[in-house]
Amino acid sequence: LLASSILAICTGFASGFHMLVIGRILQGITLAGLPAVAMAYLGEEIEAKSLGMAMGLYISGNSIGGMSGRIISGVLTDYFSWHIALMGIGVISLLSSIIFMVLLPKSAHFEPQNFKLTSLAGSLFSQFKVPGLTYLFTIGFLLMGGFVSLYNYIGFELIAPPYSLSQTVVGFIFIVYIVGTFSSTWMGMLADQYGKNKILPLSLVIMLAGVVTTLHPNLWVKIIGIAVFTYGFFAGHSIASSWVGRLALHDKAQASALYLSAYYAGSSVGGTVSGSFYHQWDWPGVVGMIVALSVVSIGISFKLRGRDPVRAI
């Protein structure tokens, strides 16, 4: 956290594009392991019946950060420059990191192990043998592929006629992330109460309904569709990520890292491939691709039935 915050501040001093890219690459490297460690910490420290809600709160923090970062950086860029925007985000992150270090309770259930490359590789591949984990990894891949595709290209759709919105207005559309703040926690609670195997497919169906709604030409209906899609995405991600922590029999951080690797691979692959769909068929092409990803993820979620170790009382 400290390293990524300092690098964020340093990127504000970048004198050219190449230095900016290098700074962002280094920042990505420092951040890469954070979500896996955070998910493993929750999986080890939070009791099973409350894990869904706890993971939902964590994911809601992601949604608030994603929304705030885009809005704050946009405002700072408009009033000052992108240099000041990056440095401002870095300072906020640095202060948050210090607060986090002071407030975080010490781990009570972590069991340290000696680092051995051979045993590490063995435990890594053994994760794929755990029933259900591969399904969750695949769902993470499909979820993020659809999410990034929508947010990558909806801006182009709204800037173009007949909407012709400004960059500033399009940037504020990210405020719909706030529904993800609510859904990740609320749907996580429902998953704790009624079972993940029931709430996860429901979340994916909501996501599917939202992306289909964005095909409507009315701007407000389209924005509602984005909000519904975002609701379903953050709910699905929250439930799937908490489920990984429950199914993993050992090395929970490693299992979480594999989930996140698939998750971000989906971001890279989906975000790139959907560009071709947008180029060939405009927004309906992107929607068609996300619909396909959603339908496949719903089908996979039904294969997880019976693998939820937490039962509703």
Question: Please, are residues 41 and 256 in contact by the beta-carbon 8 Å criterion?
Answer: no
Long-range CB pairs of 173-176, under 8 A, 24+ apart, other chains included: 173/223, 173/226, 174/66, 174/67, 174/70, 174/71, 175/67, 175/71, 176/223, 176/226, 176/227, 176/230
Q: At what angle do helices 51-79 and 34-45 cross, to 10 degrees?
A: 150
Question: Please, are residues 174 and 163 in contact by the beta-carbon 8 Å criterion?
Answer: no
pLDDT digits (tens, 9 = 90+) for 72-93: 887 788 788 888 988 999 999 9
For the 49-68+123-302 domain, the top CATH level (class) is mainly alpha
Q: What is the pLDDT along the chain (313 residues), one digit of tens a residue?
A: 999 999 999 988 988 888 888 988 898 888 877 877 887 788 778 777 777 777 777 877 877 887 788 778 877 887 888 889 889 999 999 999 999 999 988 877 666 666 666 666 666 666 667 778 888 999 999 999 999 999 889 888 888 888 888 767 777 777 787 887 788 778 878 887 888 888 999 999 999 999 999 999 999 999 999 999 999 998 898 888 878 877 766 667 778 778 888 888 898 899 889 999 999 999 999 999 999 999 999 999 988 876 655 443 3
Alpha-carbon distance of 65 to 62, in angstroms, equals 5
State the CB neighbour count (10 A cutoff) for residue 212. 17
Comparing CA positions, the residue from 202, 11, 175 lying closest to residue 88 is: 11
pTM for the whole thing? 0.75
Token pair of 173, please? 């559309």
Q: How far is CA 119 from the centre of its chain?
A: 29
pLDDT digits (tens, 9 = 90+) for 86-112: 899 999 999 999 999 999 888 776 666
Token pair of 296, please? 């496949």
- C-alpha distance across the termini of the chain, in Å: 38
Comparing CA positions, the residue from 209, 208, 214, 207 lying closest to residue 184 is: 207
